[in-house]
Chains A and B, each alone.
Chain A
Amino acid sequence: MNRFVITEPSKCIGCRTCEVACAMAHPLDEDTALTPQNFSPRLTVQRIGSITTAVMCRQCDDAPCAKACPVNAIVFAHDSVQVVQSRCIGCKSCVVACPYGAMNVVNVTAPAQPQTFFASRRAKSEAQKCDLCIDRADGQACITACPTNAIRLVDQSVMTATLQRRRELAAQSLDSKTQF
């Protein structure tokens, strides 16, 4: 099972601390502070009707984004769905395929190529989504920053424990003499 990060709407207060934490953990441009132009969090807070929650990639085990990608840039790795940015052509097929609106194609400034004659910086498209902060030593930035502990990482052990708890609740709700 792929791991995924999820927000509990009952604890979310819609403060967007997670968005900033995410954007700072994945800067589009290493050199500058956040601006409206380079602000590209991989999760977004939604406040609609009676729900407030952050929406992000569910790391689908049968990921439609991966299936839609014509250049095999979206792969399964580290119990999650990851984008190999060097392959991405910015075609947006994955954006269209994602049922959660969790994929976003953005233009970033690619690092200068040291081997080339014209070592200039150039634009590059990237398909960006929650990567579970796979390269970050302290784990998922959004989880660390959330002031109400509304964001959690769900892996196989958490899922197993949750399912077990639900089964126990279901069993307790039955009358001991119930017959089917």
Chain B
Amino acid sequence: MKKVITVCPYCGSGCKINLLVKDNKVVGAEGANGVTNEGALCLKGYYGWDFLNDTKLLTPRLRQPLLRRQRGAEFEAVSWDEAISFAAGRLKEIKAKYGPDSIMVTGSSRGTGNESNYIAQKFARAVIGTNNIDCCARVCHGPSVAGLMVTLGNGAMSNSIPEIEDTKCILVFGYNAADSHPIVANRIIKAKEKGAKIIVCDPRYIETARLADLYLPLKNGSNMALVNAFANVLINENLYKPDFVANYAEGFEEYKAAVAKYTPEYVADITGLDPDLIREAMRMYAAAPTATILWGMGVTQWGQAVDVVKGLSSLATVTGNLGRPNVGVGPVRGQNNVQGACDMGALPNTLPGYYPVSDAQARDRFAKAWGIAALPAENGIGITEVPHKIHEGRLKAYYIFGEDPLQTDPDVNALRAELEKLELIIVQDIFMTKTAMIADVIFPATSWGEHENVFSSADRGFQRCYKAVEAQGDVKDDWEIHSLMATAMGYPMKYNNAQEIWDELRGLCHLYTGATYEKMADLGYVQWPCPTEDHPGTPWLYKGFTFDTPSGKARLFGTEWRPPLEKVDADYPLGLCTVREVGHYSCRSMTGNCSALQTLADEPGFVQIHPDDARTYGIKDQSLVWISSRRGKVITRANINERVNKGAVYMTYQWWIGACNALTADHLDPISKTPEYKFSAVKVEPIADQNWAENHVKQTYGKMKADMRKAALA
């Protein structure tokens, strides 16, 4: 038995794992002594690897290229030559007929790695000639990147995960660490044991609320009002640091004016919070010698998300909680490599290394390195704009790489109707997925564990994953597939291994230049910026209180609160908020194929509902119920739960039957284009015939699995 070092392919905590390998098969996982996890793992880390062995519990691994010559026809297995020539030929035709911007490409924030994301965006920009590349940061921490880029100059966590346990106050805002990052939750527990004060702002009584010194159960959709009120208290009670603001920040007078009317009394109705509780929270936060703000999807998946991120960043700025150890702002990234996909430029507005596509000098440098005349200068479109652009007739082809938008994007029924209008859908994945089922071409790729790569953890840490097993079947590494496509489209691209790609990348990006494969060997951890090879990397940003904004100062920001776009009414009286559960990840193509994780939770998932609401709507605990919005209707199981607030219900987003994204709306934040997953008006109805409902779920699920198995094994 050998041990192979890797990084967990699930959340962004960056936990190092030793995979136990016997006869080319992974047989176990144990915690390795990584910087962020220090030997600990969580449920998914310990038991989330057996999908590699093609358990076929949910869907089969893809083993061969598949082609559908006509819409509605069956898939047929074809050679790589035929699949590539078909897909490249069609893409070339579409590009010639409609122009490069009629093609959309995704990066993948999941198990594939940084090298393949770099190649995917190079394929989009250099081969197709478009900035239409995006990744699921758009539906996740896109607002954090957009907001923090403006206020501080970097879209990432300012400080490191290990520092969380040495801060003296943690303000947790819309972030359920226990379910999304158990290893970060552990740091919060350790901080508490070391005497830190914990403040939790969340409508649900989440696990961290149990150990909070102050718990602020704000109403769903009132974030901006609360953040403004926090600022109002800091300023009016002179809790902020005027010297820090004078020397290192800008825009204070506008900020002060913007939050002036947001007194705790003014927001009491909006937030549902006692004004004194709001004051107490800011007195506690400002009094701490070091304080850290952590946030998650509870901040970003709203129609007003970028504004709230800027507001939270401003709280850290005015209290001087930036530019030193154990402080800062922490948007804790959800998917294991969503930080990396952004780092690699799988975004429509930035090149690798966060050079804006509008930066002519950077474009020239990349164009020269890539041997092309020029790179596109206009921002591309984001994945959430895809259905609209198809509707307008401007998008004709979609090359989807390691994503399952028909499971994870909002309003999936409307999305499906639009995707079906495309002239070409290419899916590159390791599993058959809902989205792959409607593809014209499917490229089967190697999985995490079957190739080597670098991941970026949530705190900007580059780490290496080694190859544990040889992939089975006729599959290729993602970067090799993109290279074959590029070559077939007339741009010869060839790499011998991932390291060649990595070295090309770091030669082009000053933030990453010093992060060599050698430095990242074994348990090595290099946090960007790492500008030279003798540089150790940067655990915390903004040394000397110099920010990476054009002026070098931190920008302060407050603005009017906007309520959620959709309103509850008599027909749809409850607000649906989509959330996470610890045992499943993303669209569940990986975790659903892991025996232990699938054992703990399976279809049709749950809707969490407060006991009073359950009584009002006649819902019994554990019964199957209908839940519907203006966009769709699905069956799920009721979980009557006194930890959720009245008037709101909560569902996790990975289920096929209980698919909450059939209910969600694609109301987008105006800046980051992130959907308002956290608020859709819904109703919940009991089902009288539970036997029928149980059978219906079983049969529907069985049929979906059978159809996908048949398609994958064509």
- A16, B186: Cα distance in complex, Å: 14
Which single member of A17, A33, A36, A51 contacts B43 (CB below 8 Å)? A17
Report which residue of A23, A36, A147 has the largest number of chain B beta carbons within 10 angstroms of its beta carbon: A147
Q: Does B73 interact with chain A (Cβ within 8 Å)?
A: no
Q: In the complex, are the beta carbons of B595 and A15 less than 8 A apart?
A: no
Q: In the complex, are the beta carbons of B643 and A16 less than 8 A apart?
A: no
Q: In the complex, are the beta carbons of B185 and A50 less than 8 A apart?
A: no
Which single member of B42, B207, B211, B602 contacts A147 (CB below 8 Å)? B42
Q: In the complex, are the beta carbons of B189 and A11 less than 8 A apart?
A: yes
Q: Does B404 interact with chain A (Cβ within 8 Å)?
A: no
Q: Does B583 interact with chain A (Cβ within 8 Å)?
A: yes
- A52, B211: Cα distance in complex, Å: 11
Q: Does B183 interact with chain A (Cβ within 8 Å)?
A: yes
Q: Chain A contacts of B186 at CB under 8 A?
A: 13, 147-149
- A34, B189: Cα distance in complex, Å: 30
- A50, B208: Cα distance in complex, Å: 11
- A149, B189: Cα distance in complex, Å: 10
Q: Residue-by-residue, is A18-52 near B (CB-CB < 8 Å gives 1, otherwise 0)? A: 01110110000000011110010000000101111
**CB-CB under 8 A for A14 and B178, given A147-B183, A148-B189:** yes
Q: Chain B contacts of A35 at CB under 8 A?
A: 595, 599
Q: Does B47 interact with chain A (Cβ within 8 Å)?
A: yes
Q: In the complex, are the beta carbons of A47 and B55 less than 8 A apart?
A: no
Q: In the complex, are the beta carbons of A36 and B178 less than 8 A apart?
A: no
Considering the complex, which residues of chain B in the window 25-54 have a beta carbon less than 8 Å from any beta carbon of chain A?
Answer: 40-43, 45-47, 50
Majority DSSP secondary structure for residues of B touching A: helix
Q: Chain B contacts of A50 at CB under 8 A?
A: 205, 210
Q: Does B600 interact with chain A (Cβ within 8 Å)?
A: yes
Q: Does A145 interact with chain B (Cβ within 8 Å)?
A: yes
Q: Residue-by-residue, is B160-191 near A (CB-CB < 8 Å gives 1, otherwise 0)? A: 00000000000000000111001101100100
Q: In the complex, are the beta carbons of A14 and B207 less than 8 A apart?
A: yes
Q: In the complex, are the beta carbons of A52 and B595 less than 8 A apart?
A: no
Q: In the complex, are the beta carbons of B207 and A13 less than 8 A apart?
A: yes
Q: In the complex, are the beta carbons of A33 and B55 less than 8 A apart?
A: yes
Q: Chain A contacts of B43 at CB under 8 A?
A: 15-17, 20, 147
Q: In the complex, are the beta carbons of B41 and A147 less than 8 A apart?
A: yes
Q: Chain A contacts of B596 at CB under 8 A?
A: 20, 23-24, 33-34
**CB-CB under 8 A for A20 and B600, given A11-B189, A50-B205:** yes
Q: Chain B contacts of A11 at CB under 8 A?
A: 189
Report which residue of B50, B211, B583, B599 has the largest number of chain A beta carbons within 10 angstroms of its beta carbon: B599
Q: Does B508 interact with chain A (Cβ within 8 Å)?
A: no
* Distance between B347 CB and nearest chain A CB, rounded to angstroms: 32
**CB-CB under 8 A for A21 and B46, given A35-B599, A39-B599, A147-B183:** yes
**CB-CB under 8 A for A34 and B178, given A15-B42, A17-B42, A148-B189:** no
**CB-CB under 8 A for A20 and B178, given A34-B596, A39-B599, A147-B186:** no
Q: Residue-by-residue, is A132-166 near B (CB-CB < 8 Å gives 1, otherwise 0)? A: 00000000000001011100000000000000000
- A15, B179: Cα distance in complex, Å: 7
Q: Does A179 interact with chain B (Cβ within 8 Å)?
A: no
* Distance between B12 CB and nearest chain A CB, rounded to angstroms: 16
Q: In the complex, are the beta carbons of B47 and A15 less than 8 A apart?
A: no
Q: Does A10 interact with chain B (Cβ within 8 Å)?
A: yes
Q: In the complex, are the beta carbons of A33 and B50 less than 8 A apart?
A: yes
Majority DSSP secondary structure for residues of A touching B: loop
Contact-size category for B:
20 to 34
Which single member of B50, B210, B582 contacts A15 (CB below 8 Å)? B582
Q: In the complex, are the beta carbons of A52 and B583 less than 8 A apart?
A: no
- Chain A residue with Cβ nearest B208: A13
- Chain A residue with Cβ nearest B601: A16
* Distance between A139 CB and nearest chain B CB, rounded to angstroms: 14
Q: Does B642 interact with chain A (Cβ within 8 Å)?
A: yes
Q: Chain B contacts of A52 at CB under 8 A?
A: 207, 210
Q: In the complex, are the beta carbons of B642 and A49 less than 8 A apart?
A: yes
* Distance between B402 CB and nearest chain A CB, rounded to angstroms: 26
Contact-size category for A:
20 to 34
**CB-CB under 8 A for A147 and B600, given A17-B42, A50-B210:** no
Q: Chain A contacts of B211 at CB under 8 A?
A: 10
Q: In the complex, are the beta carbons of A16 and B600 less than 8 A apart?
A: yes
- Chain B residue with Cβ nearest A52: B207
Q: In the complex, are the beta carbons of A148 and B182 less than 8 A apart?
A: yes
Q: Chain A contacts of B45 at CB under 8 A?
A: 147
- Chain A residue with Cβ nearest B642: A49
* Distance between B598 CB and nearest chain A CB, rounded to angstroms: 8
* Distance between A41 CB and nearest chain B CB, rounded to angstroms: 10
- A145, B42: Cα distance in complex, Å: 8
Q: Chain A contacts of B185 at CB under 8 A?
A: 13, 147-148
* Distance between B652 CB and nearest chain A CB, rounded to angstroms: 14
Q: Residue-by-residue, is B598-618 near A (CB-CB < 8 Å gives 1, otherwise 0)? A: 011010000000000000000
- Chain B residue with Cβ nearest A19: B600
Q: In the complex, are the beta carbons of B582 and A16 less than 8 A apart?
A: yes
* Distance between A44 CB and nearest chain B CB, rounded to angstroms: 12
Q: In the complex, are the beta carbons of A15 and B599 less than 8 A apart?
A: no
- A149, B42: Cα distance in complex, Å: 11
* Distance between B57 CB and nearest chain A CB, rounded to angstroms: 9
Q: In the complex, are the beta carbons of A147 and B40 less than 8 A apart?
A: yes
Q: Chain A contacts of B582 at CB under 8 A?
A: 13-16
- A7, B165: Cα distance in complex, Å: 21
* Distance between B494 CB and nearest chain A CB, rounded to angstroms: 40
Q: In the complex, are the beta carbons of A16 and B40 less than 8 A apart?
A: no
- A24, B599: Cα distance in complex, Å: 12
Q: In the complex, are the beta carbons of B46 and A16 less than 8 A apart?
A: no
- A21, B596: Cα distance in complex, Å: 10
**CB-CB under 8 A for A13 and B182, given A21-B46, A39-B599:** yes
- A51, B205: Cα distance in complex, Å: 11
* Distance between A24 CB and nearest chain B CB, rounded to angstroms: 7
Q: In the complex, are the beta carbons of B210 and A36 less than 8 A apart?
A: no
Q: Chain A contacts of B205 at CB under 8 A?
A: 50
* Distance between A21 CB and nearest chain B CB, rounded to angstroms: 7
Report which residue of A49, A50, A148 has the largest number of chain B beta carbons within 10 angstroms of its beta carbon: A148
Q: In the complex, are the beta carbons of A33 and B40 less than 8 A apart?
A: no
Q: Chain B contacts of A17 at CB under 8 A?
A: 42-43, 46-47, 182
**CB-CB under 8 A for A33 and B42, given A13-B185, A15-B178, A20-B47:** no
Q: Chain A contacts of B179 at CB under 8 A?
A: 15
- Chain B residue with Cβ nearest A146: B40
Q: Chain A contacts of B642 at CB under 8 A?
A: 49
Q: In the complex, are the beta carbons of A20 and B189 less than 8 A apart?
A: no
Q: Residue-by-residue, is A45-87 near B (CB-CB < 8 Å gives 1, otherwise 0)? A: 0010111100000000000000000000000000000000000
Q: Residue-by-residue, is A83-118 near B (CB-CB < 8 Å gives 1, otherwise 0)? A: 000000000000000000000000000000000000
Report which residue of B41, B47, B177 has the largest number of chain A beta carbons within 10 angstroms of its beta carbon: B47
Q: Chain A contacts of B42 at CB under 8 A?
A: 15, 17, 147
Taking beta carbons and an 8 Å cutoff, which residues of B are in contact with A? 40-43, 45-47, 50, 55, 177-179, 182-183, 185-186, 189, 205, 207, 210-211, 582-583, 595-596, 599-600, 602, 642-643
24 contacts between A and B (CB under 8 A): A9-B210, A10-B211, A11-B189, A13-B177, A13-B185, A13-B582, A15-B43, A15-B179, A15-B583, A16-B600, A20-B596, A20-B599, A20-B600, A21-B46, A33-B55, A33-B595, A35-B595, A47-B643, A49-B643, A51-B210, A147-B43, A147-B185, A148-B186, A149-B40
Taking beta carbons and an 8 Å cutoff, which residues of A are in contact with B? 9-17, 19-21, 23-24, 33-36, 39, 47, 49-52, 145, 147-149
- Extra contacts besides A49-B643, A147-B41 (15): CB < 8 Å: A10-B211, A13-B582, A14-B178, A15-B43, A15-B182, A16-B583, A20-B46, A21-B46, A33-B50, A33-B55, A33-B595, A33-B596, A35-B599, A51-B210, A149-B40
Q: Which 8 A-B pairs have the closest CB atoms?
A: A33-B595, A13-B178, A147-B42, A17-B43, A34-B599, A148-B186, A20-B596, A34-B595
